Amino acid sequence: MNSPIICFGQQPCGFFPKRFLVAKINTARNLQKEIGGEIVFFYHDSDHDPRETRTILRHRSTNEPAQLNFTFQNKIQRKFSPLYLKRIPADWQEKTTSQLPNYVGHPLIEIFKNTSASTVADFCLGMYRDMGLFEGIKILRSSDPDFRRTACDVSEFFVDIPHDGEIVRARFSEDGFKLHEGGDVFVTIPLTSFTKEQISPTRDSRLLWMQSVVHCTHYVAGAGEKGYLRETEAPEINFLTRDTIDKSDEAYIELT
């Protein structure tokens, strides 16, 4: 028998990770203790939604929640560039560091100060690693050209294309690439040629696309994921729901 491959996936989810990501990690580690095998983290850094990286922290004195997030170099980048290409302004880290004593202790502040990355996805991943969360876990990124070349073809997908001086993630359709402005409003960019290295999946095609590369035997899903995962497309996978955790959308601020 092939050795088990236990997978879980997540977009960059805050410069301190959301607690639901840590719950996925813990669920995968507990399963590995039972059945052995390898753990794979599918890092979906091709997503573009800036809301994904909102970091909810509680004030150390008042316990009031606050939302912190990255800032971005321009509006096009903030709204439409994939997270692996959203660039961090030079002063963001220093300004955010000055706020952190209200919310976290010195060890986490030092990790934050010492993290060096120019993009949102790289910064988040650097933080998660330095917090000790991914020891012994293999990381595969949806932005990796090799991953994209190896992945199967899907009928629903986004394409990373140039637009207004940036690279944006636009949904492919037969009449053009679509950028969602909000509500029912879309910007249509004329079709041009593209390659597999520019393609990333939609929410509905993500499982099949990911599995064509990862070939996992077990997948740890979040509560929201269970609502849209097309499990019948991958009958070879044993699906598990992550362990429950309180304040799941708030930041995890402990060190492993």
Query: Residue 155 domain-assigned?
Result: no
For the chain, what percent of residues have pLDDT higher than 90? 93
For 96-152, write each residue's pLDDT tens digit: 999 999 999 999 999 999 999 999 999 999 999 999 999 999 999 999 999 999 999
Pairing of strands 238-241, 157-163: unpaired
Query: Residue 138 domain-assigned?
Result: yes
**Bigger pLDDT: 225 vs 256:** 225
For 15-58, write each residue's pLDDT tens digit: 999 999 999 999 999 999 999 999 999 999 999 999 999 999 99
Query: Residue 67 domain-assigned?
Result: yes
Query: Residue 194 domain-assigned?
Result: no
Instruction: Provide the domain limits for residue 125.
Output: 5-147+213-241
> How many independent structural domains does the chain possess?
1
d(CA 73, CA 148): 27
d(CA 162, CA 59): 41
CA distances from 209 to 7, 40, 157, 193, 199 (A): 14, 15, 10, 21, 10
When the pLDDT of each residue in the chain is averaged and rounded to a whole number, the result is 96
This prediction has a pTM of 0.95
d(CA 234, CA 239): 10
The residue written with tokens 């499982």 in the block is 207
Query: Residue 178 domain-assigned?
Result: no
Query: Residue 196 domain-assigned?
Result: no
Rounded average pLDDT over 84-102: 97
d(CA 135, CA 156): 34
Query: Residue 23 domain-assigned?
Result: yes
Query: Residue 104 domain-assigned?
Result: yes
